[in-house]
Structure 1
Amino acid sequence: MLTRSLKHITLALIVFIWVVPFIALLTTSMRSEVASKTSGFWQAYTPTELGHRFSTHNKGSDAFMVLEGNILERLNKDRESYQLSGSITSILFKGRVPDPENPGKTILLRRLVPPGEVMDVRGGEFIFDEAGDFTWTFPEATAPKPKNLEVFLNQDPVFGADAFVEVLFENKNVTNALISSFIVTIPATIIPITIAAFAAYAFAWMRFPGRDWLFVVVVSLMVVPTQLAFLPVLQGFSGIASWATQLNSWMTDCELDGTCQVASKTFASLWITHTAFGLPLAIYLLRNYIVGLPRELLESARIDGANHLQIFTKLIVPLSVPALASFSIFQFLWVWNDLIVALYIGPADASDLVFPIRLQKQLGTFQDQLHLLNASAVISMIVPVIVFLSMQRYFIRGLLAGSVKGG
């Protein structure tokens, strides 16, 4: 009983650690810039007392004796989104009043006036209620200048999608980064899965000299740190680019318009690098799954005259969907969130940067605009979450690949 409770507590703690930061990012991204700077995300779901400034009326208004209006309407007059609502708690009165200790002199008074109390504003009686309705009364018709008043509002929670609209549609860099990430991630997920599936079938059901030793070598590559391979990989791509540049200048007249140079850091270099780094784990996962499939099924297919390609495409692939989906999740999440490989191997042109690099650069672009930074972070998280949720039913089965006979 104690062990089960400890497991539940541990699981709840893990969920809490992962879910709370995402909720914080999502909440901040849907708040206004002022709200995100003045209060924490945990205060966004309860009424919060905040100060605002409103003007009693517009310039050039006609003379009046009584002016009626609503403070909330005046506050929301120029707001297209994040409309304010709630109850008025007080208005900050600032003005000079007679000094009771020094007759004939005045002092500057600052105090919070609650709803229902009359204020002297520009010679008129100003009174308001909690709903925001106010009345400004003068003894005779007059045309006073608009008065700016500081009002404190017990503000209801308010959310909007302005940050997402600004990030996606007003900042082309984010949209380009999203497209670049898809261009890199989709091929870098499909290519290693395809190669690994063929290799796993060969290691599981085909007989050839050195098969077991070759499998050991492939699996051993998983222990090679990614950072250790950067230098030879970069040297290899630089050599290929140099050779391609020379070939281009020899076969074409590119020297006339200066287009001979072939870049060494491209999307293709990222596809190759991610494929190379992802293949050992993919082959290991898929081989362990495929080797556990019923031998009788494959022998029956051979008796019916099926060759290796037919067995692979019509039997192995349909039966290996859980393992394929499991690795797809791993590879997609790894490539989508990758920063270091894209930084050293990927293209450096501003329009081709992948999303993790663009997100890192936005720390300087948006500076202290937390709502925009968090909106970008949420966008980068939404795609992996969708991929995981759509394939989660295969996830556990894929993780257990090869542990039970028959997969």
Structure 2
Amino acid sequence: MSLDARQSRTARFIKHSIIILLVTIWTLPTLGLLVSSVRDKDQLTTSGWWTALITNSQSEVFRLPVAADQIEVADGYEIRTQLFDQGAQNRVTSWGLRADDLTANAPDLEAQFNKNSTLLVAQDGTVVWHSSEKFTHKRGPRLFFGADYPPRFGLDNYREVLSSEGVGRAFINTLTVVLPATFVPILIAAFAAYALAWMDFKGRFFFLAMIIGLIVVPLQMSLIPVLRLFALIGSVLDVPSKSYVTVWLAHTGFGLPLAIYLLRNYMASLPKDIIESAYMDGATHFQIFVKMILPLSMPALASFAIFQFLWTWNDLLVAAVFLGQGEDKTVMTQQLIELLGSRGDNWEILTSGAFISIAIPVIVFLSMQKYFVRGLLAGSVKGG
């Protein structure tokens, strides 16, 4: 093998290794989110997702039942309880009556509790507290134990999210926001892009430069001015300043600069000869746009549709500012936050909620994937 061939082979190996590494780094968080979404809640809150297939050992504390739970047996009285849920495969490894003496006793061996009673903690979590005299305590003592917890998986997190009140309505509300907020900008941007690409009028490049400049303007800078404008219009027309119409208009305004820029570059890269031939044959600009430009621009239209759909579906800020609150206005991102509670006690359901919320965007992306790269790359080399 020649030196050039070996160098080329080494270069390909390095290039492919770097690509595989980048893809792995990119997909690792998603893999962790998926694994966490099907893990048991208790294990999810105490260990990382990378330990999902490993048996975890941890210390727990359990308060024994009160005297009212005792039963009378042949040789005295007993209080029976269970440390684990029914069907759990957990195993007790040691136990004690003090936190600093967790390994004092082994499971399945009866130990003296006090002068009148003994305590047995079985490996499967069964606790038998036996006494020769009647129990009279009003508050059960604490039992400290160590246990091995095998991996547990299930769909409980998904059931909790899907069965929560308001999730179905929030899903419909999100679609109500997303569909018009995706198609309206595309419709307006297509006309504007054709005008900037193929129609000769004064100030065309100035408008194009303005549009490119608007792409880099942070959305947060325009929230208050736009909201005040909507409030003013609402007071004049006696209509609500926060409604689906306002959030549609807001998403349309924020999405138009990028849409016009992408579509204009694509349309400008189309063969000039066929446009001029159609114009010489007597076709109007509208006929050329409808019958020629739109069919040829489907990759670019689909690319921006994916961008706009994903952005509006995952949006929280614009919906909170321009749509407001209420059962008929809460979108999925807001509903997931409400499911967490005021203190974020149920944060673990975010893992399953995230996968539920991305189901529709994934379907949209996969169905339009063949247009995605074509639409992004077209026009990037040549522009009119």
TM over 0.5: yes
Q: 1:296, CA displacement in angstroms?
A: 3.2
Report the counterpart of residue 49 of structure 2 in structure 1. Answer: 41
Percent identity at matched positions?
41
Amino acid at match of 2:320: L
CA–CA separation in structure 1 for the residues paired with 2:180 and 2:381: 31
Among candidates 154, 162, 177, match of residue 160 of structure 1: 154
Structure 1 residues 149 and 293, CA gap change in structure 2 (3 angstroms): same
2:38 aligned to which of 30, 35, 53? 30
1:384 counterpart letter in structure 2 = P
Q: Would you say 1:189 and 2:182 are equivalent positions? A: yes
Match of residue 95, structure 2, among 92, 95, 102: 92
Q: Which amino acid aligns with 2:89?
A: S
Where does structure 2 lack aligned partners over 5 or more consecutive residues? 1-6, 76-80, 129-141
**Matched residue pairs, number?**
361
3-state DSSP of counterpart to 1:370:
coil
Cross-structure match for 1:253: none
Aligned counterparts, 1:205-244, within 5 A: 205-244=198-237
Residue-by-residue CA offset, 1:53-88 (whole Å, 9 max, x unaligned): 899xxx8999799xxxxx99x9553xxxxx5337x4
| Partners of 2:332 and 2:357 within 8 A in 1 | yes
RMSD: 4.5
Distance 1:318 1:164 in 2: 41
In the alignment, structure 1 residue 169 sits paired with structure 2 residue 163: yes
| 2:216 partner letter | V
Q: Deviations over 1:237-285 (max 9, x none)?
A: 111110122xxxxxxxxxxxxxxxx320112111111111211111111
> Partner residue of 1:100?
none
State the one-letter code of the partner of 2:30: F
Amino acid at match of 1:278: G
**Native 8 Å contact 1:90 1:112 kept in 2:** no
C-alpha contact (below 8 Å) 2:243/2:324 kept by paired residues: yes
Gaps of 5+ in 1: 66-70, 78-82, 96-108, 137-147, 246-261
State how far apart, in whole Å, the 2-side matches of 1:273 and 1:321 are. 25
Q: Does residue 336 in structure 1 map to residue 330 in structure 2? A: no
Q: 1:270, 1:14 → 2: CA distance?
A: 37
Are 2:189 and 2:256, in contact at CA under 8 Å, matched by a contact in 1?
yes
Instruction: Give CA-to-partner distance per residue, 1:155-176, whole Å, 9 cap, x none.
Output: 432212222222222232x433
| 1:269 partnered with 2:246 | yes
1:26-53 Cα shifts (integer Å, max 9, x gaps)? 3333223322222222211222235788
Deviates more, 1:197-206 or 1:262-271: 197-206
Structure-1 separation of matches of 2:262 and 2:319 = 25
Deviates more, 1:182-191 or 1:119-128: 119-128
Correspondence for 2:197: 204
Question: Which residue number in structure 1 is paired with residue 23 of structure 2?
Answer: 15
Is the CA contact 1:91–1:114 (under 8 Å) kept in the aligned structure 2? yes
Matched position secondary structure for 2:348? helix
Distance 1:239 1:125, change over 3 A: closer
For residues 339 and 85 of structure 2, the distance between their equivalents in structure 1, rounded to whole angstroms, comes to 30
Partner of 2:135: none
The 1-side partners of 2:256 and 2:125 are apart by: 68
User: After the TM superposition, which residues 138-153 of structure 1 pair with which residues of structure 2 at under 5 Å, given as runs?
Assistant: none
Structure 1 residues 33 and 6, CA gap change in structure 2 (3 angstroms) = same
TM-score by length of 2: 0.74
Measured after TM superposition, the shift of residue 304 of structure 1 is 6.0
Q: For the residues of structure 2 that align with 1:25 and 1:39, how far apart are their CA atoms?
A: 13
Q: CA deviation at 1:295?
A: 2.6
Deviations 1:328-378 (A, max 9, x none): 122122222333323332223354133334444555436232322333333
CA offset digits 1:62-115 (Å, max 9, x no partner): 9799xxxxx99x9553xxxxx5337x46353769xxxxxxxxxxxxx9756667
